[in-house]
């Protein structure tokens, strides 16, 4: 038995796995998580398992993981004292977990966004959700985390420069995450219209109703996403493909401007030919972080 706890920016999901198959799953709002030990006590309920693997939105520093959205810290050494019936307690960044899930995802869990000719090489995972996460998966299946979502946003045309100027005045530093996330949809729409009081769902609903500003927002989002994916394709030499994770991409697939995405993806001058080889897929499996945490937990537990 392996237990996984996926603590995302919006939702937290606990899952019990037997032989790689989920047998019990529960979800709660991450905002309601005030005490990790108390949450785990309720989830585990005294049961034993070979491994508990926690995947969370935040960097792992040393052996401790700090949750980006709440500031709470998770220390596996303290948890081992609380749950002695679980011999292996592991931590990893939620993007690392998505990276490890690639080995367990079938074709039915992947939606092709851009064609290519993949090779046995590195893969890049770019996750759009509450924030923007980025990681690298080596050809051997090892996952290297990063905080690449906070890379500087580089406007690609005068329209994007106007968006950048508005966001620079509001936020100071403008990272890619400020545009490529749920809040990013809101930021782009607000920079175009001055309306800062919407949520991401309201922006996409307006786009579905063909409102002009919302459609412009989606076109800009598609352009920026394509350009950023192309940049990561070059940074990581992602000949094995680029995989878009998180909750945003599957929800907005019908609204994405694929022509704008691909044009921006390939617009890298002399290295266009290299990028033409790299396929881009959208991960449709909502359980990808939990699935990857289970893969990681099984891998390390067997090695101990």
Residue-wise pLDDT for 137-155, tens only, equals 999 999 998 889 999 999 9
CA dihedral angle for residue 126, residue 100, residue 87, residue 36, rounded to 10 degrees: 20
CATH of 2-100+287-303, one of 3.30.470.10, 3.30.930.10, 3.40.920.10, 3.30.420.40: 3.30.420.40
Residue 200: CB atoms within 10 A of its CB come to 19
**What pLDDT does 82 receive?**
87
The beta-strand segments (E) located in the chain are 2-7, 11-18, 21-29, 51-56, 60-61, 64-66, 73-74, 88-93, 110-114, 123-128, 132-137, 143-145, 241-245, 280-283
Strands 241-245 and 110-114: unpaired
Neighbours of 38 (CB within 10 A): 10
Q: Which pLDDT score, from 0 to 100, does residue 253 have?
A: 96
* CA gap 243, 103 in Å, rounded: 12
Q: Domain 109-283 carries which CATH code?
A: 3.40.367.20
Q: Calculate the CA dihedral of residues 182, 212, 256, 131 and round it to 10 degrees.
A: -10
pLDDT at 303 over 70: no
Domain(s) of CATH 3.40.367.20: residues in the chain? 109-283
Name the pLDDT band for 304 (thresholds 50, 70, 90).
very low
Residue 43 in tokens = 């989830």
Q: Give start-end residues of each CATH 3.30.420.40 domain in the chain.
A: 2-100+287-303
CA within 13 Å, CB half, 194: 0
Q: What is the pLDDT of residues 12-40, one digit of tens each?
A: 899 999 988 999 998 888 778 778 888 88
- Taking residues 120-132, report their average pLDDT: 94
**What mean pLDDT comes out for the span 87-97?**
89
CA distances from 41 to 38, 45, 72 (A): 5, 6, 17
């Amino acid at each position: 038995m392996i237990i996984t706890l996926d603590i995302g920016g919006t939702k937290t999901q606990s899952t019990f796995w037997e032989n790689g198959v989920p047998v019990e799953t529960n979800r709660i709002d991450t905002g309601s998580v005030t005490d990790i030990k108390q949450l785990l006590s309720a989830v585990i309920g005294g049961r034993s398992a070979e491994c508990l693997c926690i995947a969370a939105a935040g960097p792992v520093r040393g052996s401790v993981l700090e949750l980006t959205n709440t500031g709470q810290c998770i220390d596996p050494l303290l948890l081992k004292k609380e749950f002695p019936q679980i011999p292996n307690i592991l931590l990893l960044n939620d993007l690392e977990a998505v990276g490890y899930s690639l080995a367990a995802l079938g074709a039915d869990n992947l939606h092709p966004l851009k064609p290519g000719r993949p090779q046995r090489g590195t893969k890049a995972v770019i996750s759009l959700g509450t924030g923007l996460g980025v990681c690298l998966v080596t050809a051997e299946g090892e996952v290297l985390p990063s905080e690449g979502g906070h890379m500087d946003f580089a406007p690609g045309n005068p329209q994007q420069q106007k968006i950048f100027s508005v966001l620079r005045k509001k936020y100071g530093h403008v990272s890619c995450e400020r545009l490529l996330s749920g809040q990013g949809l809101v930021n782009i729409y607000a920079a175009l219209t001055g309306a800062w009081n919407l949520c991401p769902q309201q922006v996409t609903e307006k786009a579905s109703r063909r409102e002009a500003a919302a459609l412009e927002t989606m076109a800009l989002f598609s352009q920026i996403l394509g350009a950023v994916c192309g940049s990561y394709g070059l940074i990581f030499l992602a000949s094995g493909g680029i995989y878009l994770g998180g909750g945003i991409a599957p929800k907005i697939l019908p609204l994405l401007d694929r022509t704008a995405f691909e044009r921006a993806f390939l617009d890298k001058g002399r290295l266009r030919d290299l990028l033409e080889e790299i396929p881009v897929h959208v991960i449709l499996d909502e359980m990808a972080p939990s699935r990857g945490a289970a893969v990681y937990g099984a891998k390390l537990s067997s090695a101990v």
